[in-house]
């Protein structure tokens, strides 16, 4: 699955594409492999507090709200991954939100 990413600032708009190369449902969580400017492995699941995403290769993780909420997800993910990777993961999760229910 291919998805579009956008980094909008006051002075410029930067776009790039990403691709979900693998998505495995383990029942308790999903394993999602994303290829874009970097390769990112995301473990996605749900707790009583809502959704969570862990990126073990980055030593990072965070809680998320609705997967379609790109603004909130970008904010949370950018804090732990950096701006570009945070936007990429948020856009990937929004792209698959209708297909999964973690």
Residue 14 CA to residue 23 CA, distance in Å, equals: 27
Torsion angle in degrees (nearest 10) through CA of 70, 74, 77, 82: 150
pLDDT number for residue 99: 87
Q: How many folded domains does the chain comprise?
A: 1
Here the contacts of 37-40 (C-beta below 8 Å, separation 24 or greater) are 37/84, 37/85, 37/88, 38/85, 38/88, 40/81, 40/85, 40/88, 40/89
Q: Would 8 be classed as within a structural domain? A: yes
Say if 102 falls within a structural domain: no
Q: Could you state, in chain order, the average pLDDT of each consecutive group of 10 residues for the chain (102 residues)? A: 93 95 95 96 94 96 94 97 97 94 58
Q: What is the pLDDT of residue 100?
A: 85
Q: Does a structural domain hold residue 72?
A: yes
Quick check: is 14 in a domain?
Answer: yes
- Structural domain range at position 31: 2-96
The verdict on residue 76 lying in a domain is yes
pLDDT (0 to 100) of residue 88: 98
Q: What is the pLDDT of residue 101?
A: 67
Asked, for residue 30, whether it belongs to a domain, the answer is: yes
């Amino acid at each position: 699955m291919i998805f579009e990413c956008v980094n909008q600032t006051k002075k410029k708009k930067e776009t790039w594409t990403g691709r979900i190369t693998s998505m495995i449902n383990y029942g308790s969580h999903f394993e999602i492999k994303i290829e874009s400017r970097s390769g990112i492995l995301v473990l996605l699941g749900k707790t009583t507090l809502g959704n969570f995403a862990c990126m073990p290769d980055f030593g990072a993780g965070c809680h998320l709200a609705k997967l379609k909420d790109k603004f909130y997800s970008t904010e949370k993910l950018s804090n732990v991954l950096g701006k570009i990777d945070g936007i990429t993961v948020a856009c990937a999760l929004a792209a698959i939100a209708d297909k999964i229910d973690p």
